[in-house]
Amino acid sequence: MNVSCPQCKTVFRVDPRKVPAEGVRARCSVCGGVFEVVAEGKQVAVAAQPAVAAPGPAAAPPPPQAAVPDTPAAPPPPAPEPAPEPAIAAPPPPPPEPPPPAPQAEAPATGKPFGQPDPESRARRLARALISDVAAYHPERLEIGLREGRLKELFQEELRKSWQEYVEQVGIEVAKSTPYFRDALNEILAKGKKVF
């Protein structure tokens, strides 16, 4: 099912099986707004249940009305007591509303939207992925290179291709100014030794 943020109108795909029957509050990853998410099929069922529940209590009062003539003074005192309670219950909703707008305004200005990593962490992950692939595709050669101390020689061509791919994806400036590729070589290919 699709759910859209009522504030910024961003649309999100949601698996309806993961939405609880009573619904859930969700925070928009773009604007930080908070809104209710209710499963499509369950929203209709939830709306139908209160409608069915309302006629049930309406049917129950007629039998007590027959007993009401005997005790008409007892029902009026309970009625004034509930009246002050709703007045007390009404003030709590306003305080929860003011706190959400402050984080909403700050979230987009200070942070990146979810799922968009910064270039440095992307470069680090890419370097590790490329070197992990080299090690995974050539386990026998890796074992020999570690044992004989010839990793640079045995993996020269694969490392050259991996470096080219790395530079192509992250840019020459990031590639040359960060140690991520070398760190991945030493940590993954050389198994923690400083070979590269």
For residue 178, the one-letter residue type is T
Is 74 a domain residue?
no
Residues 99, 123: one domain?
no
- CB burial class (10 A; 0-12, 13-18, 19+) of residue 104? middle
Residue numbers of the domain that contains 47: 2-64+89-110
Residues 128, 100: one domain?
no
Is 23 a domain residue?
yes
Residues 8, 37: one domain?
yes
Which pair of tokens denotes residue 163?
A: 């470096």
Q: What's the mean pLDDT in 87-104?
A: 51
**29-84 pLDDT per residue, tens:** 888 888 888 877 544 333 333 334 444 444 445 555 544 445 555 555 555 555 55
Q: Is the pTM of this model over 0.75?
A: no
Residues 98, 131: one domain?
no
Residues 152, 100: one domain?
no
Tally of domains in the chain: 2
d(CA 135, CA 151): 11
Residues 12, 102: one domain?
yes
Looking up tokens 């002050």 gives 84
Residues 37, 100: one domain?
yes
Helix (H, G, I), strand (E, B) or coil at 196: coil
What are residue 26's DSSP bridge partners? Answer: 35
Residues 7, 102: one domain?
yes
Residue 172 has pLDDT above 70, yes or no: yes
CB neighbourhood size of 180 (10 A):
22
Residues 105, 123: one domain?
no
